[in-house]
Amino acid sequence: MGVLDRLGEGGASVSDLAGPAGMSLTGMKKHIGILEEAGLVRTEKRGRTRWCELATEGFDEAAFWLEEFRRRRHEQLNRLEEVVERRKRERQT
């Protein structure tokens, strides 16, 4: 199970996440830091523990970006299809 999947079930400490993922604490801290920079995870210090939770607003931004990316790629593929069809017709004449 991935870190984001695990956090989707509820918050967890860095050490709770590291063990099942087969990562060192240092490696998991770096991983969480990247997810936090991306706006997908938020953390807070609770005593000696770093607590992690999903930052759902980050997923909304990511979903918007992905939809825009998909739309642009779809438009490009449509234009490519038009070019291919036009060239086929030109060869036939």
Q: Are 38 and 55 in contact (CB under 8 A)?
A: no
Work out whether strand 12-13 and strand 41-46 pair parallel, antiparallel, or are unpaired: unpaired
Contact indicator for 8, 54 with CB cutoff of 8 Å: yes
C-alpha span between 23 and 79 (Å, rounded)? 45
Domain boundaries, the chain: 3-54, 57-93
Say what the alpha-carbon torsion angle 68, 69, 72, 77 is, to the nearest 10 degrees: -140
The residue among 40, 39, 53, 43 whose CA lies nearest residue 6 is 53
pLDDT at res. 69? 96
What are 32-84's pLDDT values in tens digits? 999 999 999 999 999 999 999 999 888 888 899 999 999 999 999 999 999 99
- In CATH, the number for domain 3-54 is 1.10.10.10
The pLDDT assigned to 93 comes to 76
pLDDT tens per residue across span 1-18: 699 999 999 999 999 999
